[in-house]
Every structure is written in structure tokens, then in C-alpha cells.
Amino acid sequence: MGLLERFGLAAIALEYRAQLSGGQRQRVAIAQQFMCSEHFLLLDEPFSGLDPLAADEVCALTQEVAHADDLNTIVVVTHDIWAAVTVADHLWLLGRDRDEHGAPIAGARVQFTYDLIERALAWRHDLASDLVCHALVAEVRARFEVL
């Protein structure tokens, strides 16, 4: 019940999964992760399939959890570049190497890294109006052409 209260889910604790919104389902998934490890979360596509308001809610919750304790580590796997930039302090872009003909080779590895702390973009709530942030998102998006 403590986790349900922490994530704003206590009022819907007895609801079936099908009765929950996408944002509520994501909060339940995050709470489930905390049941396994108090300081480590692995989130796979936590923003996919969510409407913009629910995605913002999950981003805000992810930031809240990240800031709740210095030991908290959150790994987010996502294709949503904007959401990744708003919740991350580091970005790692995975991609496949290519052979001499430009064909992708099986498997993936880190192709590009971005230190958002160094760029003064980490842990900020005003990124929507930051032109440097928008330029970074455009740069990351362009990198997908070569990944």
C-alpha cells in the first residue's frame, strides 16, 4: 500500500488492469519494479502508447523517482527522443555497425553518447523553451539516419 500511495494509485488499488489508463498502468509497472529493487529501475518503452498528457505524467514520475534518492538509478529504453532528454542525465544511442557495403551487421552497440550534465540540460524543468535542448533533440533525431 505504501508504494501505491507513493505513486498515486491507492484509490484504484482494487481495479482490474483493463480499467486503468495507460499512465496508471505505467505507474503500476514502476511500482512493481520498486518491489524488486528499491534503487534500480529498468523501464522498457515506458512512454509508448501513451497520450501526450499521460507521457508527461510518466516523465514527471520518472524524474521524481530519480531525485528521491542519490542511489536511484533508472535505465530507460525508448524511441521517444524528447522524453528521453527530459528524464535523462546521459543518453546512449544504440545502433548496428555496417559492413563495407553499408548493410547492417547483426547486433547493436553504443554508437553515440551525450552527457546532458555537461551540456547543462540535466534535471531541468524548463527544457521546452530551451533552444539548446531543441537543437540536441534535432541532432539525435538526425543520428537515426545513420544508425
Q: What is the dihedral of CA 47, 48, 49, 51, to 10 degrees?
A: 40
Please calculate the CA angle 95-96-97 and round it to the nearest 5 degrees.
125
Q: Among all chains, which residue has been given the C-alpha cell 501505491?
A: 4
Is the Cβ–Cβ distance between 34 and 41 less than 8 Å?
yes
**Overall number of domains in the chain:** 2
- 73 and 26 inside one domain: yes
- 22 and 73 inside one domain: yes
- 58 and 106 inside one domain: no
Cα–Cα distance, 75 to 68 (Å, whole number): 15
Structural domain of 46: 1-78
Do the domain assignments include residue 84?
A: no
Bigger pLDDT: 85 vs 145: 85
- 16 and 52 inside one domain: yes
Asked whether residue 71 carries a pLDDT value surpassing 80, the answer given is yes
Do the domain assignments include residue 127?
A: yes
Give the confidence band of 63 by pLDDT, cuts at 50, 70, 90: confident
Whether pTM > 0.85 for this model: the answer is: no
Do the domain assignments include residue 102?
A: yes
Do the domain assignments include residue 83?
A: no
For β-strands 40-44 and 109-115, DSSP reports them as unpaired
- 94 and 55 inside one domain: no
Cα–Cα distance, 88 to 93 (Å, whole number): 13
